[in-house]
Amino acid sequence: MSASFMGVDLHRRTCYFTEIDSEGKVLRRGRFGNNIEAVSAFAGTLSSEVGLVVEPVLNYLWFLDLVAPYVGSVHPANPSRVRLIAEARTKCDRYDALMLAELLRTNFLPESYYVPREIRELRDLIRQRGQLVSLRVTLKNRIRHLLFLNGSSVSAADISSAKAHREIGRLALSPVIGELIGRCLGTIGYLNGQIWELEEKLTASNKGEKERALLETIPGIGPLSAIIIYAESGDMGRFKSGRAFASYCGLVPRVRSSGDKTRLGPITKTGSTALRRVFVEAAIAASRKSEGLSRLFNRVLYRGNVQKARVAVAHKLAQIAYAIATKGERFKDF
């Protein structure tokens, strides 16, 4: 057990810390800059008898990686639950650091998952790819908007395809609009190359090969989807159930209860956007390849609409992924 407990309140320029002993007495408090030199100097004042807690904000992972070798243990706090526990009228940075230390000392600290560095590197690649894909979609929409403003359109589903290029070439567009569309198409071509390189790097990774191979047995889940699930989920053993994992993916409905009435709203959309997108995108293909998922899709479709049916299948896929990852078994239709 730690001899002392330290809470750190991170900010963009200045960070505040408070260290207390096992009885709750303040040993020291102060502040330091949020840069490599200041954090390194601060780390030099720590000892292996200190338990350190910080909220997962800003560059907290970099901060924890730097100070972890100098302390006995590091603990990322769960920011939403910490706010509920430590809600107070007084709000200042020193008080926040003290409350974090007190929660750790009294074993009331709700902790977040400390993502290993190798998993974070995969996540960085995945999120970079996601940013590039979003930018590509924006440019494709820009092209269609330019065509619409000039009373034109193309029948091709993919505006950057060879078919779309031929159709655009036959349109009577002004030189300026033609140049703008050409620039957009050129940028899309460059983005396609960048996205392809990132996807190749992700699928060629040897991290989690066993887990990914099992995930690929799920209908609708390919090599790229499998590594996104592996990286964005981390250690699935930390979730209590498949429903808890689906909640982490943001694929459970909002619940509003009052008296004896309970209303279910749209999905929460909390957690990893990339993880939620994988399951939603895989839902259509999965409902065609699996009899059990097809029955689920049609049952929900009968009562609602395509969107609700797709989300229901995505929710089920998340639970299936959890079961496969935790039990180490291949997918079995139901």
Question: Within this chain, do residues 81 and 123 fall inside the same structural domain, yes or no?
Answer: no
- In this structure, the answer to whether residues 199 and 256 fall within a common structural domain is no
Contacts 24+ apart (CB under 8 A), 240-246: 241/322, 242/318, 242/319, 242/320, 242/322, 242/323, 243/319, 245/318, 245/319, 245/321, 245/322, 246/315, 246/318, 246/319, 246/322
DSSP symbol at 111: B
Is residue 257 a part of any domain in this protein? yes
- Are residues 126 and 101 located together in one domain of the fold? no
At 87 the pLDDT is 56
Domain identity same for 101 and 162 = no
Mean pLDDT, the chain cut into blocks of 10 residues (334 residues total): 88 93 93 95 94 91 94 89 58 77 90 89 94 96 95 92 92 93 96 96 92 95 95 92 92 72 71 90 93 94 90 95 94 90
Cβ neighbours of 57 (radius 10 Å): 14
Domain tally, the chain: 3
What pLDDT is recorded for position 215?
Answer: 96
pLDDT in the model for residue 258: 62
Say yes or no: 100 and 131 in one domain: no
Looking at the structure, tell me whether residues 96 and 143 fall in a common domain. no
Which residue intervals of 150-241 are DSSP H helices?
A: 162-169, 175-203, 209-215, 223-233
Q: Based on the domain organization, do 18 and 46 belong to the same domain?
A: yes
- Choosing from 203, 219, 250, the residue where a domain stops is 203
* pLDDT for residue 262: 59
Residue that is last in its domain, among 186, 203, 220: 203
49 & 88 share domain: yes
* CATH code (residue 43): 3.30.420.40
In 45-202, the DSSP E strands lie at 50-54, 73-76
Query: Could you tell me if residue 215 is inside a domain?
Result: no
Same domain, 49 and 132: no
Q: Is residue 34 part of a domain?
A: yes
> Are 56 and 10 contained in the same domain?
yes
Residue 268 belongs to some domain of the structure: yes
What global pTM score does this model have? 0.85
Same domain, 88 and 129: no
Q: Cα separation of 98 and 121, whole Å?
A: 32
- CA distances (Å), origin 181, targets 111, 113, 141, 185, 187: 49, 45, 11, 6, 10
Residues 6+ apart with CB under 8 A from 256: 262, 263, 264, 265
Q: What is the span of the domain harbouring residue 63?
A: 4-105
Clarify whether residues 248 and 306 are in a common domain: yes
Q: Is residue 248 part of a domain?
A: yes
44 domain-assigned: yes
Can you name the residues that pair with 33 across neighbouring β-strands? 14
Last residue within a domain, chosen from 75, 105, 135:
105
110 falls within a domain: no
In a domain, 50, yes or no: yes
pLDDT score at 168: 93
Q: Is 21 helix (H, G, I), strand (E, B) or coil?
A: strand
